[in-house]
Amino acid sequence: MSNTKPENTRKTDYKINSIFVNRWSPRSMTGEEISDDDLMSLFEAARWSPSSFNNQPWRFIYSKRTGSEWSKFLDLLNEGNRIWAKEAGVLVVIISRKNFEYNEKPSITHQFDAGAAWKNLALEASIRGIVAHGMQ
Amino acid sequence: MSNTKPENTRKTDYKINSIFVNRWSPRSMTGEEISDDDLMSLFEAARWSPSSFNNQPWRFIYSKRTGSEWSKFLDLLNEGNRIWAKEAGVLVVIISRKNFEYNEKPSITHQFDAGAAWKNLALEASIRGIVAHGMQ
């Protein structure tokens, strides 16, 4: 699950923190198990993301590769992604709640907010040397 | 534009990098001008965000408080936000392209991807001691 950091070859036009440059989306995964500590810290990072009315509309559904539901998660992927994603330590489905919890009215930012939360997760992963690769 | 870092009072359930904990959404702004260097670095951080097919659907439209379009940007806000946002150094409207550029087919993740890019922007700002506060 450890990645080779590409920072030596990536140049930015303006100076930014290296965490944004070091994060990338490799397709080469080791199949190494992810610890609960690591996994919960990824979700914790996501949880600290801001959202409209602090509604926190994101939901994460996951299976580790050792889990009983693993094959169901793999089946959600298209063939092109399944080839490399089957070597992941965990697969996570991200969904978001369309209505605000406090009044059930539609939120226009639930997808935007979920994307922001996922970015926290991906950056926390990168900081830990864990590969995170988004798929639609 | 500098913020008081709240890290001493914010506790996480699982260990995460302090950049996620230190980022918050204050409503107290100084009206201090933002430099072009700072502003371009915020957009640069956003640019390094991943997106479906690397479509980078996010677009940022901005006005500094000293800009000729400033009042138009302020007028986009509701009264509750305008009260504090009028002291911001810059207002940025985030929009996203609904169709992929390469084939003009609809993207189901353009909002999600824009949210992820905005999160990079907000974190880069926080790292620089610049307040960034999202509004819908």
Q: How large is the ipTM? A: 0.92
| Test mutation, B17, B92, B121, B135, chain A, max A CBs within 10 A | B17
| B40/chain A closest Cα distance in angstroms | 7
pLDDT in tens, B58-69: 999 999 999 999
Of A12, A108, A111, the CB nearest to B44: A12
pLDDT in the model for residue A5: 53
CB A24 within 8 A of CB A6: yes
Spell out the domain ranges in chain B.
Answer: 18-127
pLDDT in the model for residue A6: 54
Q: What is the largest CA-CA distance in chain A?
A: 49
CB atoms within 10 A of CB B26: 12
pLDDT in tens, A108-123: 999 999 999 999 999 9
Q: Is the pTM higher than 0.90?
A: yes
Yes or no, beta carbons of B12 and A44 under 8 Å apart: yes
Contacts of A41 in chain B (CB under 8 A): 14-16
- Give the pLDDT mean for B80-95: 96
Residue A116: CB partners within 8 Å, gap ≥ 6?
A49, A50, A51, B115, B116, B118, B119, B122
Fold of A18-127: NADH Oxidase (3.40.109)
Q: What are phi and psi of B90, to 5 degrees?
A: -155, 145
CB B82 within 8 A of CB B135: no
The structure tokens listed for A120 are 């926290």
pLDDT in tens, A32-68: 999 999 999 999 999 999 999 999 999 999 999 999 9
B113 touches chain A (CB under 8 A): yes
A97: three-class secondary structure by DSSP: coil
Q: Nearest CA to A16 among B19, B40, B115?
A: B40
d(CA A47, CA B11): 12
Of B13, B23, B124, the CB nearest to A20: B124
Average model confidence (pLDDT) across chain A: 93
B16 touches chain A (CB under 8 A): yes
